[in-house]
Structure 1
Amino acid sequence: MNMRKIIERILFYLILLLIWEVIYKLNVEYFGIWKVYSFPSPIDVYKTLVSLVSDSTLGIAVLVSLKRVIMGYGISIAIGLILGLFIVKFKYIDENLTPLILGVQTLPSICWLPFAILWYGLNESSIIFVIVIGSVFSIAISVESSIKNINPIYIRAARTLGAKGWKIYSDVILPASLPGIVSGLKQGWSFAWRALMAGEMLSTTTGLGQILMMGRDLADISQVMAVMLVIIVLGLIVEKFIFGKVEKSVRHRWGMVSEN
């Protein structure tokens, strides 16, 4: 990214902040349309962020939440990949299990919280369970759809050249389906974050969700907004430096973008 684009992006966000502040001034301070506890100003959000950072509350919460989501997401990837491969491999499982998975995937993560609490109690295991159940099915579905959408000529060519059994999967099917699988993993990551927030908001343990709930209980909308911004920034960082690089590498590998 050249300097001009950096400046343009900074100006864009500064304009957004200015619009935010103007909306706050007009609707909260001047006309009194909204209550002060219902809409925060960017200055108050900044002060809250500084306060949360200065006493290490935010740093500890971010580390704890990242640890949970990485553990849960890692388990989801392992289970989702295996489940997706089984669905593709066995027609009986595909015909009977796929509709059920699609139906279960529509359930919000918060629906699984009663089961998590009853089975594991209010602890780390219950939060990990909610994260896994919230993202595993989207990953499985992405694996299944990515493999099914491969150009059949690749498989026929591999079989003509003598590839059989697992060699077709390892050398042809999985590499060819990687672009779709990576997109599915990105979606699974977003589902994992949503599930994490649902789990932490009903738990008394440290985490971003717990800070979010404290802000709600104290009617501190600035704290709520501050945590939301932190979650957005974390998501952008992961997208930029992890999924973005992996996706770019895969696209280059398959000639989907130029090297320039």
Structure 2
Amino acid sequence: MAVDTHARQMAGLDALELSGEQRTGVAAKVWGRVWPMLTAVAIVLVVWELVVLSGWRPEYVFAGPVTTFQDLLHRMGEAEFYQAVATTMRRAVTGFALAMLIGLIIGAAVSRIKVLRAAFGSLITGLQTMPSIAWFPFAILLFGLTESAIQFVVILGAAPSIANGLITGVDYTPPLLLRAGHVLGFRRLQLYRHVILPASLPSFLAGLKQGWAFAWRSLMAGELMVIIAYQASLGEQLAISRELADSPGLIGTMIVILALGILIDMLFEAADGALRHRWGLHQVRN
């Protein structure tokens, strides 16, 4: 009995040590990702303050970091700030979701039907390279100063990148996988669902990430050009701060836009890491 008790105690200690090592490993991994970002932020803040102190521009034109963050903290205590963030994110998520659906349908059709590839392949690439801001006069003419005008351009900005990501992924599907799918009896939709789509996920995810970047840029341009009454947004706050020559408010809003963009990019990075881990590529990346 004494031996059994001692063995259980030793096993418990080993488990505690292992748990402690795991926590230490997780903490070290998190710190390894955080400290470069903190260093970059510190460098930017120091350079920013040095530029302000140099007198390159008056502080009412180019506010310093202390003034900017004080103003930003003050605005974060107001309900209008969160209404603006909520409106912008609602537009972004809605537009991106529609663009993802449209891009998926177009990409799936063009990638598998040769006639559509010949007819629309170059057009999709051309739409991807076209600046989103160029669409807004046409969108305003079609829909007026409404939500639809903004969403129209957001979708046109994101959908081509998403479609091209899927098309590229399908093009690089290994022929061996296709032959294996045929041997298993998969045909058409089954082959697409069980073989081609999973094989094209890395490229499709890259297309989604690029599509989000285009959607975010298009949305910011749209909110600057299409200001809808009684709907506070980040783009509207940028426009108002510019008109009022409110440098702290303008720079603070830009920081919020940048922070939201980085946050969404981290979500895409997490999805990419999970996909690599599932495919056994996690160690290769590290």
TM-score normalised by L of structure 1:
0.91
One-letter code aligned to 1:210:
E
Q: Which residue of 2 aligns with 1:250?
A: 275
Output the amino acid matched with 2:189.
Answer: W
Secondary structure of the residue that 2:130 maps to in structure 1? coil
Identify which of 177, 184, 192 aligns with 1:169: 192
Q: CA deviation at 1:164?
A: 1.3
Distance 1:12 1:120, change over 3 A: closer
Corresponding residue for 1:194?
Answer: 217
Name the CA distance, whole Å, in 1 between partners of 2:253 and 2:154: 19
Long gaps (5+) in structure 2: 1-26
- The question of 1:53 aligning with 2:72 is answered no
d(CA) in 2 for partners of 1:255, 1:197: 38
Residue 21 of structure 1 corresponds to 49
In structure 2, the residue matched to 1:115 is 138
Corresponding residue to 2:85 among 51, 55, 62: 62
Match of 1:212 among 238, 242, 266: 238
**Cα–Cα, structure 1 residues 4 and 202, in superposed 2: closer, same or farther, change >3 Å?**
closer
| 3-state SS of paired residue (1:54) | coil
Alignment of 1:221-260 (within 5 A): 221-240=247-266, 242-258=267-283
After superposition, the C-alpha distances for 1:135-170 in whole angstroms (9 at most, x for unaligned) are 111111111111101212111121123221111111
C-alpha distance in 2 between matches for 1:56 and 1:256: 45
Equivalent residue letter for 1:256: L
Larger Rg: 2
Q: Distance in 2 between matches of 1:8 and 1:135?
A: 30
Q: Which range is displaced more, 51-60 or 95-104?
A: 51-60
Once the two structures are superposed, the pairs formed by residues 10-159 of structure 1 within 5 Å of their partners are 10-26=38-54, 28=55, 33-159=56-182
Whole-Å separation in 2 of the counterparts to 1:12 and 1:211: 27
Deviations 1:100-146 (A, max 9, x none): 12112221111111122122111111111111111111111111111
Q: Which amino acid aligns with 2:50?
A: V
Encode CA deviations 1:75-100: one digit per residue, 9 max, x unaligned: 00000000001111111110121111
Q: Distance in 1 between matches of 2:218 and 2:146?
A: 15
How far residue 174 of structure 1 moved from its aligned partner, in angstroms, is 0.2
Flag the 1:200–1:8 CA change in 2: closer, same or farther, 3 A.
closer
Residue-pair matches, total: 254
Q: 1:108 to 1:12 in 2, by over 3 A?
A: closer
In the aligned structure 1, how far is the partner of 2:59 from the partner of 2:38? 28
Aligned residue type for 2:210? Q
Instruction: Please list the CA deviations of residues 22-79 of structure 1 after superposition, one character each: whole Å capped at 9, or x if unmatched.
Output: 12101x2xxxx32434422111211221232122232111000000111100000000
CA spacing shift, 1:108–1:9, aligned 2, 3 Å: closer
**2: distance between equivalents of 1:150 and 1:16?**
42
Distance 1:7 1:131, change over 3 A: closer
- 1:55 corresponds to which letter in structure 2? E
Distance of 2:40 and 2:140 partners within structure 1: 44
In the alignment, the residues of structure 2 paired with residue 253 and residue 209 of structure 1 have an alpha-carbon distance, to the nearest angstrom, of 39
Would the alpha carbon gap of residues 69 and 252 (structure 1) be closer, same or farther in structure 2, given more than 3 Å must change?
Answer: same
Structure 1 stretches lacking a partner, 5+ long: none
Cα contact 2:127–2:156 (8 A) shared by 1: no
The residue aligned with 1:180 is 203
C-alpha change, 1:8 and 1:252, in structure 2 (3 Å) is closer
Structure 1 letter corresponding to 2:166: V
Question: How many Å separate the matches in 2 of 1:9 and 1:87?
Answer: 40
